[in-house]
Amino acid sequence: MSESNETSGRHADVDIAGVDTVVAEAAAPERDIAVKVGDDLVEVKNLTMRFGGLLALDDISFTIKRGEILGLIGPNGAGKTTCFNAMTGVYKPTSGQVLLEGRVLNGVKQHKITRAGLARTFQNIRLFGEMTALENVVVGLDARHKTSVIGALLRLPRHTREEKSAIERGMALLEFVGIADQAATLSRHLPYGSQRRLEIARALATDPKVLCLDEPAAGFNPAEKEELMQLIRTIRDDGYTVLLIEHDMKLVMGVTDRIVVLEFGKKIADNVPSVIREDPKVISAYLGEPEDDFA
């Protein structure tokens, strides 16, 4: 875990103490995952998504291995977010399957997909503006809670227990992403960078097996982007599996273990970053056909 300590030191300007191992421990996922580290946790099989005449996703297949950071990249309009939405149940795929630990997610309701262990953030921040940062995170934690309406009404023991543990774990998660000082601030009053981090904390709160981040660094300057990438690494080191959509290819190269490249709804490459970097198809998708002085 030495790397995690080192990386956490880098966003120490948000929290002087940095993310210490105690916090990392408290924020770590709490449940058993049936798949071993390195095996396929999520399988996307022949996923096709059609909107009327538009073929947004064309027969996409890839896997996410437990414990890795998988990058999903592609130029604007390549179908990255559509792929996300089809995986997390926002869209119903035209054909194909998404499997989590071998369990088919097609047709499962969104909130059940989240409970099954696939959590996501949004490209355009969608926090609950009238709630404090801590409350936002606790909503995520509630995905694992079992208090019923009657239990809450009469303040039964389980409610008390869950409320207390939620505060502790919620604060630990805020600490983990580096915004614990702003726990009591309404989320719409938070600075932009903190909002992005809060979105990640809220998604982590659902105790996901796979954390899907949709352009978490959008609107960040290079320094902030670098900090965020460190956070994502820390999250992975803490035992989460991460699917990262990112637009900025240079950035994604540094943080991911493997990259899937989409263009016009088709998968054009799936490999480790060093190979992707040299792949002529990927280069032409991003830069157009290479010119002499560019390549």
Sites of contact with other proteins (CB under 8 A): 13, 16, 88, 90, 109-111, 114-115, 119-120, 122, 126-132, 134-135, 138-140, 142-145, 147, 149, 152-155, 159-160, 162-164, 166-167, 170-171, 180-181, 183-186, 189, 202-203, 206
**Contact call for residues 190 and 133 (beta carbons, < 8 A):** yes
Q: Which of 1, 153 has the CB closer to other proteins? A: 153
**Contact call for residues 287 and 294 (beta carbons, < 8 A):** yes
| SS3 at position 90 | coil
| Radius of gyration for the alpha carbons in the chain, expressed in angstroms and rounded | 19
Output the smallest distance, CB 276 to other proteins, in A: 29
Output the smallest distance, CB 25 to other proteins, in A: 19
Residue with tokens 């991460």: 242
* Secondary structure element (H or E) that encloses residue 261, with its range: strand 258-263
What is each CA distance from 62 to 83, 148, 231, 276, 294, in whole angstroms? 11, 38, 25, 15, 31
Output the smallest distance, CB 99 to other proteins, in A: 19
Q: Which of 32, 109 has the CB closer to other proteins? A: 109
Output the smallest distance, CB 89 to other proteins, in A: 8
Q: Which of 10, 266 has the CB closer to other proteins? A: 10
Q: How far apart are CA 200 and CA 215, in angstroms?
A: 11
Q: Which of 144, 266 has the CB closer to other proteins? A: 144
Q: Which of 134, 260 has the CB closer to other proteins? A: 134
Q: How far apart are CA 228 and CA 222, in angstroms?
A: 10
Output the smallest distance, CB 11 to other proteins, in A: 12
